[in-house]
Structure 1
Amino acid sequence: MPNATSTENLQILLTYGDVALASSLILLVIFISWRLRLRLTSTLLMAAARTVIQLSFIGLILAWIFAREQWYEVLIILTMMTLIASGAAKNRVKRAYKGLLTDTFIAVSISAVLVTIIAIALILRVQPWYTPQFIIPILGLILGNSLTAISLTSNQLVNAFHEQQGRIEMMLSLSATPFEAVHAPIRAAIINGMTPTLNSMLVVGIVSLPGMMTGQILAGADPTQAVRYQIVTMFLICVSSILGCTLSALLIYRRFFNDRQQLILPN
């Protein structure tokens, strides 16, 4: 059974047995999948196994990084996180084109890194800046939400350019500028990318308690401090998401028009 500290600072420590008990609950999910013939059993098993393996692996790495606090090691971790997030965002776009990975990397890295720098330097004022306890979790939170927003925006916008090719070319023939011709799909794509973030902000604290806040409270932190951290992270995620969606849309827009302001469909 978990051990707890004094009631003044209650902290429940989970054992491997507790983790195994939680893992066994996946059997219920598998049973539902089998009973309803959802054909998700193999996916569920793979997802559960990857969850355990990936989180255990990153836990060992973070423990090592936290103990050493070397700036170059932290920088390597941050770079790897950004590259993996860029690849994940790219893979969610169904109609990929040459250069999509570069565009997603630019959108993800600029939006996430810029907002992380603001958080570390101006809000938290962490010294030194590469303190892994702060910069790695913050960048991870921002990247996770940014890649979702960017992938939703990119996927919808690329599909719109393909599906609305006739309408866009008609507007161009009627003397509309390229941006005027595609403003409506760009707007719709950015709104679509921002929807998950905005939905979370609208119900946070009423319907849901976000992960960072819940984790801090379970770890014994002062709830008021946990709330402040959560407010900060929600605003950081919102800014990063809108920056990422906008950059992604503009980069895709640039790819789909040539120097003669003609619509092209890159492969």
Structure 2
Amino acid sequence: MNIQVLSVVDLILAGLLVLALGVVQLLLGLGLLRSLVWGSIRMVLQLLLVGLVLKSLFAVANLGWITLMALVMLLLASYEVIARQKRPIKGWRGYGIGLVSMGVTAAIITLFTLLIVVQPKPWYTPQYAIPLLGMILGNTMTGIGLALNHLTQTAWSSRVQIEARLLMGQTARAATRELRADALRAGLIPTLNMLAAAGLISLPGMMTGQILAGAPPMEAVRYQILIMLLITAATGFGSMLAVHLGSLRLFDGRDRLRLDRLGG
């Protein structure tokens, strides 16, 4: 089966649908036309740039360049986590929490998959390593961002209750037990929805792409199951680590609530 090649005209036709949506939003007075147009343009430019980089990377297949791209992806994802927070943790520590939470989980799970599960030759084959890392990072970034946002916002709005528990003699960990559980639950909601909807309500992106490319449906299904299990594990462990590190930053060594460490 040959892959249907998309022309520039095909992409422009799809873009006209988004433009039509923006015009309708404008007529309704929602003020989203600029965001839709700018977001679409940014997406196209980013993907074209990534396509050129991947083309060169696939041709070279050098571990050093692959590692460099992985680090760039991780740094950008860590920035996005903080940029989406309403009350982010101030300073380099806030950025570091996202960086460590995603870096540790994404690196371990990606290496586990490449070395033990998929086993491409060589193990750092960019056609496997980069897309796999990208899918794990993208979903982990969303989960960690939601978890941290819930943690800091709820800590701010519930500061009276938290301080009352501290005055009653509870430790910082005990006073924020429910808060941390709720934050972790918030971070996992998109992943749980993804698991529940897969196959029944939606066909996941990787599976759809493989089928369109001519892969046998059952082979595409197996790869999609693998990816979704990896995403679930990475998002869960990453969110747990982020909530743990974030909650530590909310208190000082004497278990005093330090909301002055939050921005917004």
- TM norm structure 1: 0.94
**2:128 aligned to 123, 134, 151, which one?**
134
Instruction: Tell me how far apart the structure 1 counterparts of residues 12 and 257 of structure 2 sit (CA, whole Å).
Output: 55
Query: Could you tell me which of 239, 245, 264 is aligned with 2:233?
Result: 239
- 1:15 lines up with 2:15 in the alignment: no
Q: Hey, what does 1:41 align to over in structure 2? A: 33
Matches within 5 A, 1:33-182: 33-96=25-88, 97-98=90-91, 99-182=93-176
**Letter in structure 2 aligned against 1:198:** L
Q: CA deviation at 1:201?
A: 0.4
- Compare 244-253 and 14-23 and name the one that shifted more: 14-23
Residue 187 of structure 2 corresponds to residue 193 of structure 1: yes
C-alpha distance after superposition, 1:177-213 (max 9, x if no partner) = 2111101010001000100010010010010001100
- Aligned partners of 2:173 and 2:95: how far apart in 1? 23
Q: Residue 19 of structure 2 contacts residue 37 of structure 2 at CA under 8 Å; is this kept in 1? A: no
The letter of the residue matching 2:16 is S
1:86-142 Cα offsets, whole Å, 9 max, x none, are: 000111111122220011111111111111111111110122222100010000001
Deviation at 1:39, TM superposition (A): 0.6
Counterpart secondary structure, 1:12: coil
Q: Which moved more, 1:177-186 or 1:257-266?
A: 257-266
- Measured after TM superposition, the shift of residue 10 of structure 1 is 4.3
Distance 2:152 2:18 in 1: 36
Task: Measure how far apart 1:70 and its partner are.
Answer: 0.7
Aligned-pair distance for 1:27? 2.4
Q: Distance in 2 between matches of 1:235 and 1:154?
A: 22
Larger deviation: 75-84 or 255-264? 255-264
Q: Does 1:212 align with 2:209?
A: no
1:228 correspondence with 2:222: yes
Q: Give the total of aligned pairs.
A: 259
Relative contact order, higher structure (CA 8 A, sep 6+)? 2
C-alpha distance in 1, partners of 2:171/2:18?
54
- Name the amino acid aligned to 1:195: I
- 1: CA distance between counterparts of 2:121 and 2:138? 25
1:27 aligns with 2:24: no
CA RMSD of aligned residues (A): 1.1
Instruction: Give 2:177's match in structure 1, choosing from 183, 189, 193.
Output: 183
Structure 2 residues not aligned, in runs of 5+: none
Give, in whole Å, the separation in 1 of the partners of 2:213 and 2:15: 21
Name the CA distance, whole Å, in 2 between partners of 1:228 and 1:132. Answer: 20
**Secondary structure of 1:260's partner?**
coil
Q: Distance in 2 between matches of 1:127 and 1:44?
A: 42
In 1, the alpha carbon distance for the partners of 2:237 and 2:120 equals 24
Unaligned runs of 5+ in 1: 1-8
- Give me the whole-angstrom Cα distance separating, in 2, the residues matched to 1:163 and 1:243: 26
TM-score, length-normalised on structure 2? 0.95
